Amino acid sequence: MKLSVIGCGYLGAAHAAAMASIGHEVIGIDVDQRKIDALAKGEPPFFEPGLAEILAEGIASGRLRFTTDLADAADATVHFVGVGTPQQKDGYAADLTSVNAAVDALLPYLTEGDIVAGKSTVPVGTAAVLAERVSPTGATLVWNPEFLREGWAVEDTIDPDRLVAGVPAGDEGERAASVLREVYHPSVAKGTPFIVTDYATAELVKVAANAFLATKISFINAMAEISEATGADVTQLADAIGYDARIGRRFLGAGIGFGGGCLPKDIRAFAARAEELGRGESVAFLRQVDEINMRRRDRAVQLVVDGLGGSPFKKNITVLGAAFKPHSDDIRDSPGLDVAVRLHGLGAWVTITDPAAIDNAQRIHPQLNYVHDRDDALRGADAVIVVTEWDEYRRELSPDHATALATGRVIVDGRNCLDAAAWRAAGWNYYGMGRP
Ligand code: UDX
């Protein structure tokens, strides 16, 4: 099929390349000329494992092209809209400027029978409004939320765990759903659940999923706070409750909390939308989820300060990680970077390293000292804090190796990802999150 993908950020670029890799003819469109130039050369404008390979394949096959000219979407019959919906500058609601602009700009190129498939995360009620604008062209709007995780974007797009299509009522909706089934034919053929809903449900599936995940993380971080008050170990607690199949161990990783371009802004936008709907109290707990999450950053800073005997002033602190999670160069709302900035603010000499995110971090926080080589970053450290659980720090850094480089013996494990016993045995003062 001929597809267009409007918006080539983390979501859109992965979607365009993945759709080409399953056999479609795809045109990726973005207003950012630099992004398009890079993608057209087969170079992902951000770090995403596996993306370079399928970009190159798609371009070589002739099935994948990139442009800034929306008129090139005219040939396509299904148009995916995957532009950003960031938090508004002056509030918690989502900023829909890009979604509205993308759909409006697409209208002149739509023809009878086309499908516009919204992928962006939007406040419930948005699709119904957009559908009214799309409808006079003879095209149909569907809402097809995206659940990909950064770092696994290619895998999650080619082989998702479920597909959701919010469609209008009646024959028009049925036809639209069957077109989407055809788009995702390999997944549908192997039995991936394909759930057809109305618009509101499809929009809500996305925000509800992210709200649930954020709540799960903040739940275990709340247990970390209680563990800190009682001498319990939250990692053992998580293991033990995680064996209950109804609970499950995934997303029970206590630490410095969640960040990134989705969970923080999505729970805030959800709460703001619920307020507008007069149902603020239904998701009032999301405010606490947010607060617990932010408190963990304070705790991490406190552990470093305590470890250094009460003052980080003029102390060398090495921060291992900058990305909001491993396998990504994304620093949007990165808890680890926030911790680094706060330590800098307390007068410490902060050195940061990260396998992928240094360039992005440096652009936003030029005041910190960035070092590419992990061992160079560790040299002379009075204290070390792990904020992103990259394998380079979690598996490949032995305590003895760190001993030979650092000056001090303070290690703060912001992701509870290190072997506490091994670090202690090597003479380090190990501090975990919610661990004795
Ligand atoms: C998330 C959703 O998982 C995905 O389905 C949605 O499409 C977009 O938002 P992503 O932002 O890529 O994906 O990251 P995710 O893997 O969910 O992690 C989010 C944050 O939570 C990271 O900062 C991570 O470090 C943190 N986290 C995750 C924890 O603190 N503990 C955990 O146990 C798991």
Q: What does the pLDDT profile of the chain (436 residues) look like in tens digits? A: 999 999 999 999 999 999 999 999 999 999 999 999 999 999 999 999 999 999 999 999 999 999 999 999 999 999 999 999 999 999 999 999 999 999 999 999 999 999 999 999 999 999 999 999 999 999 999 999 999 999 999 999 999 999 999 999 999 999 999 999 999 999 999 999 999 999 999 999 999 999 999 999 999 999 999 999 999 999 999 999 999 999 999 999 999 999 999 999 999 999 999 999 999 999 999 999 999 999 999 999 999 999 999 999 999 999 999 999 999 999 999 999 999 999 999 999 999 999 999 999 999 999 999 999 999 999 999 999 999 999 999 999 999 999 999 999 999 999 999 999 999 999 999 999 999 9
Does 417 participate in catalysis according to the annotation?
no
Report the distance separating Cα 16 and Cα 28, nearest Å.
6
Task: Report in angstroms the alpha-carbon separations of 311 from 304, 318, 367.
Answer: 9, 15, 20
Report the distance separating Cα 237 and Cα 14, nearest Å.
37
Domains of the chain: which residue ranges?
2-197, 232-436
Report the distance separating Cα 98 and Cα 120, nearest Å.
10
Q: Which of 122, 262, 269, 283 is catalytic?
A: 262
Q: Which tokens go with 395?
A: 């598996």
Pocket test for ligand 1, best of 263, 338, 339 (most atoms within 8 A of CB): 263
Pocket test for ligand 1, best of 162, 325, 327 (most atoms within 8 A of CB): 325
Give the global pTM.
0.96
In a 13 Å sphere around the CA of 231, the CA atoms on its Cβ side amount to 0
For residues 257 and 296, the answer to whether their CB atoms sit within 8 Å is yes
For residues 165 and 183, the answer to whether their CB atoms sit within 8 Å is no
Q: Which residue has a Cα nearest atom 28 of ligand 1?
A: 251
Report the distance separating Cα 229 and Cα 310, nearest Å.
20
Nearest Cα to Cα of residue 96 among 273, 330, 281: 273
pLDDT digits (tens, 9 = 90+) for 114-164: 999 999 999 999 999 999 999 999 999 999 999 999 999 999 999 999 999
Report the distance separating Cα 19 and Cα 61, nearest Å.
13
For residues 82 and 48, the answer to whether their CB atoms sit within 8 Å is no
The SS3 call for residue 374 is helix
For residues 399 and 428, the answer to whether their CB atoms sit within 8 Å is yes
**Residue 341 CA to chain centroid, in angstroms?**
21
The SS3 call for residue 296 is helix
Report the distance separating Cα 83 and Cα 362, nearest Å.
25
Quote the DSSP letter at residue 435. -
Distance 379 CA to ligand 1 centre (A): 31
∠ Cα 317 323 328 (to 5°): 145
Nearest Cα to Cα of residue 160 among 184, 182, 137, 131: 184
Say which residue the tokens 């962006």 belong to: 120
pLDDT digits (tens, 9 = 90+) for 83-113: 999 999 999 999 999 999 999 999 999 999 9
369 burial (CB, 10 Å; 0-12 / 13-18 / 19+) is: middle
Phi-psi region of 334 (alpha: psi -120 to 50; beta: other; left: phi over 0): beta
Whether 2-197 and 232-436 share one fold: the answer is yes
pLDDT digits (tens, 9 = 90+) for 213-253: 999 999 999 999 999 999 999 999 999 999 999 999 999 99
Q: Tell me which fold the domain 232-436 belongs to.
A: Rossmann fold (3.40.50)
Q: Tell me which fold the domain 2-197 belongs to.
A: Rossmann fold (3.40.50)
Q: Which residue has a Cα nearest atom 21 of ligand 1?
A: 258
Q: Which residue has a Cα nearest atom 22 of ligand 1?
A: 258
Distance 219 CA to ligand 1 centre (A): 14
